[in-house]
Structure 1
Amino acid sequence: MHRPYRPEDEAACLAIFTSNMPDLFPPQERAEFAEFLKTMTDPYFVIEDGEHLVACGGVFLRGDGHAAGLSWGMVERSRHRHGYGRALLQIRLDWLRMHAPEVQAITIDTSQHSAPFFAHMGFETQQVELDYYAPGLDRHVMQLLLVRSLG
């Protein structure tokens, strides 16, 4: 089950972040994520399995509204490869289709560890910056072009 983020989800989302350190997120980004959770104004979602939060992630519109980005998406480490990442991406794509149909492209910043997942989902790498997040943790800027049917 998924739903919008609520302030009482903060501790669980921070625990999900921590479960992915240091491989997917460097420890120094935890404070940035905590601040994001306190101040965000864009849509952010959580996925629950029973009463346990297992994933979280958001979406935001860029510039003229024809582009969007995905923010702070993550799945609890013990739940990797169980379909939660795919579900979280689909929730965010569905939100964009419903609330921002003018979006033509979605851009993400991710690491080399998550880039293969996003490539499998149709995202294409636009740029790679080595050691961007931390030593050994590279930045992959990736984009998904949305195809709109004419008529």
Structure 2
Amino acid sequence: MSTDGSTHPTEPGSAGPVPQTPAGGATSVGTADTPGVTSQGTIGDGTTPHGTDPDGTVGDGSGEPGWVARNTNALISALLVVIVAALAIAAVVLYRNQRDDANADTEAAVTTFLAGQDLEVETIECTGDTCAVIVGGQAATVLVQEDDNGDQHFGVSAYSGD
């Protein structure tokens, strides 16, 4: 410790240099655009030029947080719900499109198979690997199976559906 009364920066209790207030007690600098704005970006009353305090509250001095600050959690939750709903709708649309394409491919395969048997298909409706067909005024059910090699096999029977 020093005995000359000076304080060294390494000694406990040393606060470093003390800032000096400008002459006349002025604490803000004004410009033509924003009179009274300090170097920290606040106006003399402590609010920012945008009407909010530095802590994000409304600059009317009430200390009340703004609408967005009060409802941040609700806004985030609402946005997440909208995103999840959009993803669910997209998944359903993609699934149905894929299923419809598969059913159309099955219909084309059954129509080709029956045309090869010299039968004319009047109507056909497929769901998965089963088709309901009307051929020559007779209702029939056609089962389509695909083996490991990708070859399709067809089974035709009298209609047994709803």
TM-score (norm: length of structure 1): 0.21
Q: Which has the higher contact order (CA 8 A, sep 6+)?
A: 1
TM-score (norm: length of structure 2): 0.20
- Which structure has greater strand proportion? 1
